[in-house]
Amino acid sequence: MTVRPIRLYGDPVLRTPADEITSFDADLRELVRDLEDTVREPGRAGVAAPQIGVSLRVFSYNVGGVIGHLINPVLSDFDGEQTDEEGCLSLPGLGYDTTRSESVTATGFDQHGEPLVIKGTGFLARALQHEVDHLSGRLYVDTLKGDVRRQALRELRRVVPRP
């Protein structure tokens, strides 16, 4: 079991769009195992590869006791709206009300290159959107607006050490 350290706000890998995965090989399966081991830690709902320093389009999730992964995800079928507090392992100790779609469909592949479709509502939909954002070099604070965004960025500068 390998639990990888989480990269923190300010690390350039978190702001770099991740590369598409083209080879479904033993190295990819090892990365997926590490992601799933890392997301099993208490209090974790998702971990994207960039959060462990790997700029590839894959993430793991742990929602409702179900652990899985998705490679080269694409989101579609956005429906409804939900606003709830959202946090991020790369921005520890912070949480802000963030608006996301209430339901979404994620398509991609498993570690063997087989097609996967995940239909998420509620918290799973939020987690899917959050993790796909990571793969595009975006953080949830990028979705915040106005005074809440300014407050979040001030707090980030105060509490998160710069690499």
pLDDT digits (tens, 9 = 90+) for 6-23: 999 889 999 999 999 999
Are the C-beta atoms of 68 and 61 separated by less than 8 Å? yes
Tell me whether strands 58-63 and 66-79 are parallel, antiparallel or unpaired.
antiparallel
CATH code, 71: 3.90.45.10
Domain with 145, as residue range(s), is 12-159
98 in any annotated domain: yes
Q: What's residue 163's pLDDT?
A: 52
**Tokens 């509502």, residue?**
121
Lowest mean pLDDT across 32-41, 89-98, 130-139, 153-162: 153-162
Residues with a catalytic annotation lie at 131
Number of domains within the chain: 1
Check whether 130 is labelled as a binding-site residue: yes
Q: Measured between alpha carbons, how far is 149 from 155 in angstroms, rounded to an integer?
A: 10
Q: Is 72 within a domain?
A: yes
Residue 5 within any structural domain of the chain: no
- Please give the average per-residue pLDDT across 60-87, as a whole number: 97
Residue 160 has pLDDT above 70, yes or no: no
Annotated binding-site residue? 134 = yes
What's the rounded mean pLDDT across residues 67-95?
A: 95
Q: Is 7 part of a structural domain of the chain?
A: no
Alpha carbons 11 and 131: distance in angstroms, whole number: 17
Q: Which two tokens stand for residue 120?
A: 């998420």
The reply, when asked if residue 112 is annotated as ligand binding, is no
